[in-house]
A and B are shown apart, each in its own frame.
Chain A
Amino acid sequence: MTDLLRVRDLSTRFFTEEGQINAVENVSFTVEAGSVLGVVGESGSGKSVTGLSLIDLVESPGKITSGEIWYNNADLAERVEGDRPEAVDGDFVDLRRLSEAERRSLRGSAFSMIFQDPMSSFNPSITVGEQIAEAAEVQRRASANPRSTRSRTQGYGLGQMLLDGVLPNRSYTSEESWDRAVELLERVGIPDPAERAEEYPHQFSGGMLQRAMIAQALAGDPDLLVADEPTTALDVTIQAQILDLLADLQETMEMSVVLITHNLGVIARVADRVSVMYAGEVVERGTLRDVFDDPVHPYTKGLLGSVPDIDQPGERLEPIAGNVPDLVDANMPDRCYFADRCPKAMTDCLTRPPEYEVSDGHRARCVLAEREYSEADAVPDERFARATDDGTAANDGSTAADGSIASDAEVSDD
């Protein structure tokens, strides 16, 4: 399978009053053409910021600070090669080395994104059809003039539309775009699309509006759809409908999807490959089978063990002790970020583990990929400034590496 996107060592930081937050830390992964990559993690794992980074929607005080995002697009490569040979490698273009205008021009047509809350993606005072027609119009005009990537950007990029809700008035869209909007609404399974197109967002149910947002995101026929918790706010019967729809669209439109979610069931339902994120890092990645059936990283195992199984109600859940670190740069220890919660922590873990290759395409950022656990090397719990799960005391600056032992804060969360 060919790759659509190769992400290498991507880092995104936020520069806030509390200090520098390492939201995404040296993340690498590949998205194959026509497949679904699931990115799973808990809150604060950096999964959403990873999605935003991919399509360049990180907002101040956040900033992508390093890394490469190689996008497979021969046409674009040819167009860019003259001006910026360093940004081109065969059919691949490094998006990070394009100008901002060039990058923005790819939004909607190359990359698109849907979010958890469709209400925030629609302007409440404009009909749904009009807003989708708007997105279609932008793409139509852009493809009428493919040589000028700039012409696509005039402030109407999909990203801006989705995020700002700044929309011009009706006269902007052509009848053709309106028809396209109706067609898109039909494509995403909205009954009586011509009628519904005339309605306002508040007249749509949550599930229907989610479909409408997907229609809007598809207006530019994107290669890649980033879906950030697209079903989290929905009831389970509606979630099943939307997952079906996404799988169907992905297949028929031959697009790739990066599906970001905390829900392991959703991942299992639609993802081909999986990246597990923890504390800003990808701690394990591989095929769905690699990650679910042969997990190496104790965090992956812990996550799988925490979910109550609806088919096999076990006696007792096995939660992961403690809580996620806060990602403030100054507090991030120079060791495996998971060591303070890890039941297998060893002295080896007191230096930052690299990404090890477990098997072809299956990687884990954990020493257990290379060696067995040995009790003799175990690190006693007290070595760590135990994450007390209260967000303040965990960050006394002490780390296991400098050998200081935290004196208070021994509250283990089970």
Chain B
Amino acid sequence: MTDPLVTVDDLEKYYYENDTLLDRLTGAEREAVRAVDGVSFEVREGETLGVVGESGCGKSTLAETLMRLREPTGGSVTFDGDPVFDLSGTDMNAFRRRAQVMFQDPFSSLDPRMTAGEIITEPLAIHGVGTSGERRERAETLLDEVGLSADQIDRYPHEFSGGQRQRIGFARALAIDPEFIVLDEPVSALDVSVQAQVLNLLADMQAERDLTYLFIAHDLSVVRHISDRVAVMYLGEIVEIGPTEEIFEDPKHPYTKALLESVPRADTDERDRTVETIRGDVPSPRNPPSGCSFRTRCPELIQPPGLDLPQATFRGISEFRTRIENGDIDVDLRWEQVGDPDREDREAFVDSLREEAFDTELPDAEEETVSEAIRALADGDRETAAATLRERYRSPCEAIDPGLPAGEHPSACLLNEQPEDVETAREEWEADYEAPEAGASSR
């Protein structure tokens, strides 16, 4: 195994809302947005580590924080032995030369009146490398290397196509001869035929110059194509990391499995492939779920000890519970729909909501518990309704926060191997857990 070039340890980047002076004076609660929530991994010399995840999972914030373009709120990053967040002066300069970053649109932050040559050589100018003549020569060489031509050096960004602009952005990242490049969605704005050109270029340059890449993307096919190892992110955390082949052929985390299954294949058999879509949306990082952050959508949600329902039933009940807890069900409106503004016929209310929430029969005991909860809801007592369901259907996944154990291919899921402290916490939780009788309180 090669040595790590970059080691990220428990990196954390929170943003705070309601944090103005006025908010503090009025006592508004400071709200944390946990963009990156305790992430640890390493990037090994010469490899490409792919980071995938959906929008809002924190992958871009991770890149920016890691490169110290944003200040972290916790954790550390070590680059070739140096603590990045403690560097200053010449050491910081050295880091800025050895590590580069390229974004999806490298030009959005640049002056549109700069020529291709100026764009490429700007990092050299900032670091005072070479004379302006030498820098121009360097730009010409780089243009050739990235598949453009030296005589395009004086053109402006708008004269280039999207694919060519990405090549210029890449030439800029290469200009100062870095060892490590963070590529943040470098091909996602490109058409597929052009995307393939740029991917090939990235691969060629890596081989030629022994570069180490951190490749961030949402497109799983692209990540599989280019990466040696892959980290999967969800709500600011890494839920699984491992060698590319293993992640794609033998995914361990339910989210990774769902993600892989969701990708439509460009193949005539695609229509017959059954895709178990995961339901719902990604929760807000302002208010992530307790325990496992994937539990609100997880198709493998673990049942409490003593309960053994069909998975679909358990999930259906859990989702119903979430609707009640979130206040998604408007009791007044429901009474109106039942056509009973005087709220006399509680059973009609129960039937109507029960009917709508579950399209299948429930086992007797569950039927009873669910009805009991709805009765409380009909009386306008949301808290009791939620508590009734919570008592019987509390999953360990909401009590225990899974972690990423050591190893080549760990995953943060209670179904899989877990770090010792998590295992202990779970054992304690289960020992404390008392399976309640179904509908006990109504009997």
Contacts and interface: CB of A to CB of B under 8 A. Distances in A.
Interface of A: 42-43, 191-192, 194-195, 205, 207-208, 235-241, 243-244, 262-270, 288-289, 292-293, 302-311, 313-314, 316-321, 323-324, 389-392, 408, 410-414
Interface stretch (B26-34, B265-273, B412-420, B428-436): B265-273
Contacts of A308: 196, 199, 221-222, 224-225
Contact of B55 (A194, A235, A265, A306): A235
B329 interface: yes
Given A235-B54, A265-B264, A195 B193 contact: no
B206 to A, nearest CB: 13
Contacts of A208: 281
A308 B187 CA distance: 12
Nearest to B328: A192
A193 to B, nearest CB: 10
A314 B224 CA distance: 10
Contacts of B263: 236, 265, 310
B196 A319 contact: yes
Interface residues of B, number: 59
A128 B297 CA distance: 25
A194 B161 contact: no
A265 B221 CA distance: 11
A160 B196 CA distance: 39
A321 B197 CA distance: 8
A313 B159 contact: no
Top 4 nearest A-B pairs (CB, nearest first) are: A265-B264, A319-B196, A264-B266, A235-B54
Given A195-B329, A391-B161, 6 more contacts: A236-B262, A319-B200, A389-B163, A389-B194, A390-B159, A390-B161
B258 A237 contact: yes
B248 A310 contact: yes
Among B201, B261, B268, B275, which residue has the most Cβ atoms of chain A within 10 A? B268
B308 interface: no
Contacts of B127: none
B149 interface: yes
A411 B192 CA distance: 19
Contacts of A289: 268
A392 B54 CA distance: 36
Interface string B332-348: 01100100000000000
A302 B195 CA distance: 12
Nearest to B195: A306
19 contacts: A192-B323, A195-B328, A195-B330, A207-B281, A237-B277, A240-B261, A268-B268, A269-B265, A305-B196, A307-B221, A308-B196, A308-B225, A309-B266, A311-B265, A313-B224, A313-B225, A317-B196, A411-B148, A412-B147
A155 B162 CA distance: 39
B422 interface: no
A244 B273 CA distance: 12
A268 B267 contact: yes
A236 B193 contact: no
Nearest to B330: A195
B278 interface: yes
Contacts of A292: 266-268
B220 interface: yes
Interface in B149-175: 149, 151-152, 155, 159-161, 163-164
Nearest to B201: A414
A178 to B, nearest CB: 12
A269 B259 contact: no
B443 interface: no
Contact of A240 (B147, B159, B262): B262
A241 B194 contact: no
B394 interface: no
A265 B262 CA distance: 11
Contacts of A195: 328-330, 333
A241 B225 CA distance: 25
A410 B244 CA distance: 37
A267 B147 CA distance: 32
Interface in B213-240: 218, 220-222, 224-225
Contacts of A317: 196, 199-200, 225
A302 B248 CA distance: 25
B408 interface: no
B86 interface: no
Contact of A414 (B197, B222, B282, B334): B197
Contacts of A318: 196
Given A235-B218, A390-B159, A268 B266 contact: yes
A317 to B, nearest CB: 4
Given A240-B275, A268-B264, A317-B199, A323 B330 contact: no
A314 B259 CA distance: 21
A305 B225 CA distance: 13
Contact of B193 (A239, A244, A302): A302
Nearest to A290: B268
B54 to A, nearest CB: 4
A321 B263 CA distance: 26
Given A319-B197, A411-B149, A240 B264 contact: yes
A218 B191 CA distance: 31
A175 to B, nearest CB: 12
Nearest to A288: B268
A256 B96 CA distance: 55
B298 interface: no
Given A192-B328, A194-B337, A408 B151 contact: yes
Contact of B266 (A270, A307, A313, A316): A307
B191 A43 contact: yes
B194 A390 contact: no
Contact of A236 (B192, B197, B259, B334): B259
Contacts of B200: 316-317, 319, 414
Interface in B363-399: none
Contacts of B147: 411-414
A304 to B, nearest CB: 7
Contacts of A191: 323, 328
Contacts of A321: 197
Contacts of A270: 271
